[in-house]
Structure 1
Amino acid sequence: MKHEWRKKEKDLYLPKAKPTLITIPKLTYFSISGEGNPNSAAFGQAVGALYAVSYSVKMSPKKGLQPDGYFDYTVYPLEGFWSLNERGITAYQTGQTFDKEDLTFKVMIRQPDFVTEQFAEETIQRVTESKPNPYNERIQFESIEEGLCLQMLHIGPYDTEHETFQKMAAYCDENKLKRLSPTHKEIYLSDPRKSAPEKNKTVLRFPVAYTDD
């Protein structure tokens, strides 16, 4: 039976539009790190490289390259850790509007457990030979454990995410939680090319810990 993350892993990917605590285990991803405006062509190339290798893994049985333990599944959604470079942090701390060019990111697509480091490297090589992309050489295969996090579904344009973060911050204050990092994760449940901005669905998440108070 096909593994569909929307049905099997709702707690990780389909939270409600209210703050919810969750512990994220160690998971594996193809990822690319960088800096700059997410509306740029370069960022689009990076995302394209991730999708190319991810779909190559999914389609590997049709090429006679099925890895041990393979099972059919739906490709996971695009995710990304977001923060600011030093210039952006300075602007933010002084109450100024930061430039999107000062954003730093690590975009990623989760991979099923059967994907080993060797198979990941072989897949990247095959995709590089068939679909050249300058970002292919920057793809990393890595395990990430996020631990205890607070997450919430944001519905609307990306530029209004601060409204959802305010609700999450209030939840932290009310429940003796502290945010551990200015970096946050976004999981994109909607395709902005097909969805109206006001209907975009994005999971917002950041690491937390209980305070001693």
Structure 2
Amino acid sequence: MPFDYKKEYREFYLPPKTPGIVRVPAMHFLAVRGQGDPNEEGGAYKQAIGLLYAVAFTIKMSKLGSHKLDGYFDYVVPPLEGLWWQEGVHGVDYARKEAFHWISLIRLPEFVTKEAFDWAVRQATEKKKQDFSPVEFFVWEEGMCVQCMHIGPYDDELATVSAMDAYAQAQGYTADFGEGRFHHEIYLSDVRRCKPERLKTVIRHPVRSVL
């Protein structure tokens, strides 16, 4: 059976619908940075997702080619993730999507080194005849966070975020947004096939202890 990060690391990908505190270790990702409204048709965000998945599946399907990656194991490509922020805003303002800065992410298996990443980008460029230079090898340790499973439209996240804030404060934590510390979403549903009221999204916010 292919290794499935969602099932093997349930604490990071399948939290309950009630908030909890979690410490997130360092992980490796594919990443593309950008800014602007993610809903813009043909915009930078949707182009970024296409670039990420092309490189992700180049790595996954390398098992069928002549170039063998050291330590390769079969796996399910992890879900799309997003880091979101706006200049001068604590958290995010859902009414000002055009002001978003974002980093779109897909987690990489542990066997993917910087060298393996570079090969995959070259391979995708050759096959797709596209510019994959925006895709980065991104190492990130998120640290202490409060998180919760949100069910429903993205624009309704505020109620979930409010519950997370209240829980964190009750546990002796406060929000810790800043450099490298962002509003984080993990998308468990395919927005093209899922009704808005059934969308499943992990929401994660950085926190620090005030005790």
Question: Cα offset for 1:208?
Answer: 1.0
Q: Residue 54 of structure 1 is aligned with which of 45, 53, 56?
A: 56
Match of 2:129 in 1: 132
Asked whether the 8 Å contact 2:18–2:148 carries over to 1, the reply is yes
**Paired residue for 2:100?**
103
Tell whether 2:2 aligns with 1:6: no
Structure 2 equivalent of residue 85 of structure 1: 87
Indicate the SS of the match to 1:18.
coil
Alignment of 1:151-170 (within 5 A): 151-170=147-166
* Paired residue total: 205
Is 1:30 aligned to residue 27 of structure 2? Answer: no
2:208 is the alignment partner of 1:209: yes
Give the structure 2 partner of residue 121 of structure 1: 118
CA deviation after TM superposition for structure 1 residue 98, in Å: 4.3
- Deviation of 1:97 after TM superposition, in Å, equals 7.2
- Aligned-pair RMSD on alpha carbons? 1.7
Q: 1:150 aligns with which of 146, 151, 158?
A: 146
Aligned with residue 175 of structure 1, among 171, 177, 180: 171
Look up the SS of the partner of 2:68 in the other structure.
Answer: coil
Deviations 1:64-123 (A, max 9, x none): 22211110000000001001135xx39x8xxx9742110010001000000010110110
Deviation (angstroms), 1:210: 1.2
SS in 1 for 2:71: coil
* Structure with greater proportional helix content: 1
Look up the SS of the partner of 1:141 in the other structure.
strand
Counterpart-to-counterpart distance in 1, 2:36 and 2:189? 22
* 8 Å CA contact 2:189, 2:200 repeated in 1: yes
Instruction: Say which SS state the counterpart of residue 102 (structure 2) adopts.
Output: strand
Write out the 4+ residue segments of structure 1 that deviate beyond 6 Å after TM superposition: none
Q: The residue matched to 2:133 in structure 1 has which SS?
A: helix
Matched, 1:45 2:47: yes
Q: Report the equivalent of 1:75.
A: 77
Q: Is the 8 A contact 2:19 2:164 kept in 1?
A: yes
Residue 51 of structure 1 and its aligned partner are, at CA, apart by 0.4
